[in-house]
Amino acid sequence: MNAVARIALRRGGGMLVVMFFVASVVFAIIHIIPGDPAGVMLGPSATAADVAALRARLGLNAPLPMQYVRFLGDAVRLDLGQSLFLNQSVGAALLSRAPVTLQLTLMAAGLATVLGVPIGVLSALRRGGWLDQAVTVLAMAAASLPSFWIGLTLIEYLSVKFRLFPVAGYGPPGAGLLVHLHSLVLPAIAVGLPNMALILRLTRTAMLDVLNEDYVRTARAKGLPPATVVIKHAFRNARTAVLTVVGVTVIGLIGGAIVTETVFGLPGVGNLIVASVLNRDYPVIEGALLVISGIYVLINLATDLLYLVLDPRLRD
Amino acid sequence: MARRSSLGRRLLRQRMAVVGMAVLALMLVGAAFAPLIAPYDPEAMDIIHRLSPPAAAHWFGTDDFGRDEFSRVLFGARLSMITGTLVVVFATVAGTVLGLLSSTLRWLDDLLMRFSDALMAFPDILLAIALMAALGPSLLDVVLALGTVYTPRVARLVRGAALVLQRTQFVEAAAALGAGELRIVCAHLLPNTFAVLIVQATFTFAAAVLTEAALSFLGAGIPPPTPSWGNMIAEGQQYLDRADWLIMAPGLAILLTVLALQLVGDGLRDALDPRLRGLT
């Protein structure tokens, strides 16, 4: 077996272990509910018969270890159970809302990377100059803003005052591609901006490290054009660091999307989660926790493997 | 003592960190003396003067119940500062204990680290909101939830720093002289992780302020009428077209606080740099 396959296999195994712990955490969260979870889920107005029925349906009468084993078994089979309020399985509920969140996250990630990486590189090249200082302070400010507040401010100025964008509401793909993308632009900026700041700052640091290396000085000394030095010599070696950052940002992007969807009334997973928390629809919360952390762990695995492609030194 | 004063001097040499400290000090004073400074009771309604724009009588205007926005921002600062402080204490104490245990007891290490991997596989806000759904809406629950979210990061950092320290000569010398594990942990590892901890504490504080705001904004944190910057923005959301001060005032308060904390954190990291090298 070659080195890459061996490493991939080991990382894959590690990922399964982490997912086992993730599932245990999710199980624990539902069981720290004080008192009877079924009673809490149905609220104070529920009858004793309703509560008993729900207890039976959720298998809460079994001993805790049994419930744990059953929970893990369901998770392995990707059976996330039934929503308490939606008359829909949790899997179907998540799946029907996933496209909006996926698009929002991808657009925000694209925006954050397309702006963050080049500005970070430029900032590193002009280290200490006015551009660098301005960029550093602005990036820090952007990272200090909650995405929901950026969203509201964008709505206030660009939608309410200047009517450039829809105030809220979602243009489904059926309403035409332009309407659809138009309704996602402001949310993507709101989610992307704080993450752009993060990508920018870490790209700058990675580039500064590389620019101090001897081979960069050599490349410059032998008279290569500055752009060639930056792109072919410096950035090539900062790539793995940038990849790490983009991987880390994914989790921030998903978090931002969860909060921002409610601001713009986008029918995505975030909106579903917030509604489920307010309704105490625990099966949906459990399912969302499992699926989102699973996606994150998979992305981490993918970035780990991408390192091996980008940096042959890691293959041994 | 000499080391500490030189740390202070190094910190004061950084302009941005000083600005951050000044803003933070202002916030802390505002939060501590909110009942004395606030011109109105933050929960007193005055329907006749509802949604009036910022003016001399109401610096930041009034909200939909005619409550004074400036007083509410001040009391919101109080809530954010208390939450941030308690979360930092929780995460730092729990994280330090777990990190040191993990670095010393090999059999526990794998378990604790996989557990922290699992907790860090959720976005902050998602884990916090799920914990809040299970716990209940009160300040203490918010602290418990956010403390749980931010403990693994501290634990990892302390573990990493302790593992590096364990391989240093002075710790090996102490062990060779017959110091027990407990003594090495308390007398040698713990004091030397201080630098890492204090920098992390500033960033944890900033993250806790942001996540608390998001929780309260979504209705899963501090419930109204108690003013929190997050729930104030949620209430102001309906009056976006008529009363923009209702989201601007608490929003700018969040921006100032978090930015100040980041500036101080960066300044501390740079001032402590020689001792942080290799530990983070």
The Cα A207–Cα A230 span in angstroms is: 9
- pLDDT category at A241 given cuts 50, 70, 90 is confident
Whether residue B266 is contained in a domain is answered as yes
Whether residue B214 is contained in a domain is answered as yes
Answer whether A258 sits within 8 Å of B247, measured CB to CB.
Answer: no
Give the residue numbers spanning the domain of B145: 20-37+62-277
CATH of the domain at B265: 1.10.3720.10
Whether residue A140 is predicted with pLDDT greater than 50 in this model: the reply is yes
Which pair of structure tokens corresponds to residue B190? 């713990």
Which pair of structure tokens corresponds to residue A33? 């509910």
- pLDDT category at A274 given cuts 50, 70, 90 is very high
Quote the crossing angle between the two packed helices B15-32 and B2-12, to the nearest 10°: 100
Answer whether A152 sits within 8 Å of B247, measured CB to CB.
Answer: yes
Q: HSE-up of B249 (CA within 13 Å, CB side)?
A: 28
ipTM, interface predicted TM-score of the complex: 0.88
Which pair of structure tokens corresponds to residue A134? 């301005």
Taking phi over 0 as left and psi of -120 to 50 as alpha, with beta for the rest, B51 belongs to: left
Residues of A in contact with B16 (CB under 8 A): 137
- Unique residue bearing structure tokens 């596989």: B121
Contacts of A188 (CB under 8 A, 6+ apart): A104, A107, A108, A111
The 3-state secondary structure of A262-295 reads HHHCCCCHHHHHHHHHHHCCHHHHHHHHHHHHHH
Q: Which of B224, B209, B206 is nearest to B43 (CA)?
A: B224
Does an H or E element contain A74, and which? helix A64-76
Whether residue B56 is contained in a domain is answered as no
Answer whether A141 sits within 8 Å of B255, measured CB to CB.
Answer: yes
pLDDT on residue B5: 55
Answer whether A292 sits within 8 Å of B123, measured CB to CB.
Answer: yes
Tens of pLDDT, residues A160-172: 777 777 766 677 7
The Cα B195–Cα B165 span in angstroms is: 13
A53 vs B21, higher pLDDT: B21
Which pair of structure tokens corresponds to residue A237? 């070696």
pLDDT on residue B277: 43
User: Which residues between 224 and 243 in chain B have a beta carbon less than 8 angstroms from any beta carbon of chain A?
Assistant: 230, 233, 237, 240-241
Query: Average pLDDT of A36-65?
Result: 79
pLDDT on residue A1: 60
- pLDDT category at A316 given cuts 50, 70, 90 is low
Which pair of structure tokens corresponds to residue A297? 């762990």
Whether residue B3 is contained in a domain is answered as no
Chain centre distance of CA B18: 19
Whether residue B52 is contained in a domain is answered as no
pLDDT on residue B38: 80
- Residue of A148, A162, A250, A284 to mutate, testing the B interface (most B Cβ within 10 Å of its Cβ): A148
Burial class (CB in 10 A: 0-12, 13-18, 19+), B178: exposed
How near does any CA of chain B get to the CA of A311, in Å?
23
Whether residue A142 is predicted with pLDDT greater than 60 in this model: the reply is yes
Whether residue B228 is contained in a domain is answered as yes
pLDDT on residue B273: 66
CA angle A93, A282, B86 (to 5 degrees): 125
pLDDT on residue B279: 44
Instruction: Out of A32, A258, A280, name the one closest to residue B123 (CB).
Output: A258
The Cα A14–Cα A298 span in angstroms is: 11
pTM for the full predicted model: 0.89
Query: Average pLDDT of A272-296?
Result: 90
Answer whether A263 sits within 8 Å of B237, measured CB to CB.
Answer: yes
CA angle B277, B176, B104 (to 5 degrees): 55
Which pair of structure tokens corresponds to residue A194? 């704080």
Cα dihedral sign for B246, B249, B253, B259? Answer: positive
Residues of A in contact with B133 (CB under 8 A): 276-277, 280, 282, 285
Answer whether B259 sits within 8 Å of A144, measured CB to CB.
Answer: yes
Chain centre distance of CA A213: 33
Asked if residues A258 and A196 have their Cβ atoms less than 8 Å apart, the reply is no
Query: Average pLDDT for consecutive 10-residue bins of chain B (280 residues)?
Result: 62 82 92 86 81 80 83 91 96 94 88 90 92 88 95 93 84 81 80 86 95 93 89 89 86 94 88 55
Whether residue B51 is contained in a domain is answered as no
- Report CA-CA distances (Å) from B271 to A24, A114, A135, B5: 41, 33, 22, 11
Answer whether B255 sits within 8 Å of A160, measured CB to CB.
Answer: no
Residues of A in contact with B121 (CB under 8 A): 18, 22, 251, 293, 296-297
Please tell me the total count of domains within chain B.
Answer: 1
How near does any CA of chain B get to the CA of A275, in Å?
9
- Could you give the percent of chain A with pLDDT greater than 90? 28
The Cα A76–Cα A20 span in angstroms is: 9
Whether residue B235 is contained in a domain is answered as yes
pLDDT on residue A280: 82
Whether residue A250 is predicted with pLDDT greater than 50 in this model: the reply is yes
pLDDT on residue B274: 56
- pLDDT category at A212 given cuts 50, 70, 90 is confident
pLDDT on residue B1: 43
Answer whether B130 sits within 8 Å of A285, measured CB to CB.
Answer: yes
